[in-house]
Amino acid sequence: MTDAAALPGQPRGVVTSGPATARAVNVLAPNPSAMTLDGTNTWLVGEPDSELAVVVDPGPLDEGHLRAVVAAAEQAGKRIALTLLTHGHPDHAAGAGRFAELTGTKVRALDPAMRLGDEGLAAGKAVRVGGLELRVVPTPGHTADSLCFHLPADRAVLTGDTILGRGTTVVAHPDGRLGDYLDSLRRLRSLTVDDGVHTVLPGHGPVLDDAQGAVEFYLAHRAHRLAQVETAVENGFTTPEQVVAHVYADVDRSLWPAAEWSVRAQLEYLREHGLIPGAEPF
């Protein structure tokens, strides 16, 4: 068995519902899959001495899960005062409307289409509820509307799908763009260097206790994949499907459709930077 401390980001291991930091509690959604790993992590966040809490990513439209989140808050002696979304993918956000009905909360998101009765979320802004502070960190790339939330009191960051607790994330082309994603990873690295963030609370997978190690791994992985894709094109693999079959040959074929999104984003990035020929979008 591999020591978790030796893995990128130092994952804690088994993903379960329960406390992760002094202020963040995970309620694991029952939607495991190859894409969602153990399921969606719905985060209940609040100051220990406050009666109010914030929920980040209520998850899929699953009545049992949504009620379990409400029950977790009640068990902690808290009332859910606000719902936040890291991005609009259904495994994170499809339950937001029903959750708003159950809790009477407003839903804040970057994408206006995902908001319910409240304003959006912008860079440099902070969400404050019951003494809790969550700072908005724009991290486009996985999707155009992806956000992270910096929880300074716990030296933690809630990353949605921008950084996962296991494996790497997909750049969901064409909505997601690789250049944006690389910039977002560098922004998160700055949080680890300048703001002392050491814990990643991801949208899927285990909590990571080495945030800087996780970010560095992601950046190195992207650089490696870009080099592989560039070499594949030089060797005559020119379509996204051909590149996936060549570069991702050791990856489960069930993940190839998702890998193709990332490959299209990589090809677009390489073309825009003049590293491969072509003028048409992939």
What distance in Å separates the CA atoms of residue 4 and residue 250, rounded to the nearest whole number?
23
Residues recognised as catalytic? 91
> Are the C-beta atoms of 80 and 54 separated by less than 8 Å?
yes
| Total-model pTM | 0.95
Tell me the pairing of strands 132-138 and 147-151.
Answer: antiparallel
Residue type, 236: G
Residue with tokens 């990332």: 262
Tell me the pairing of strands 107-108 and 79-84.
Answer: parallel
Res. 1: pLDDT tops 80: no
Q: How much is the average pLDDT of 22-50? A: 97
Q: Is the dihedral of CA 85, 86, 88, 93 positive or negative?
A: negative
Residue whose C-alpha is closest to residue 87's, from 41, 131, 144: 144
The length of the chain, given as a count of residues? 282
Pick from 6-15, 81-90, 221-230: least confident:
6-15
Interacting residues of 1 by C-beta distance below 8 A, sequence separation 6+: none
Query: What is the pLDDT, as a whole number, of residue 123?
Result: 84
Query: What is the pLDDT, as a whole number, of residue 238?
Result: 87
Q: What is the pLDDT of residues 140-190, one digit of tens each?
A: 999 999 999 999 999 999 999 999 999 999 999 999 999 999 999 999 999
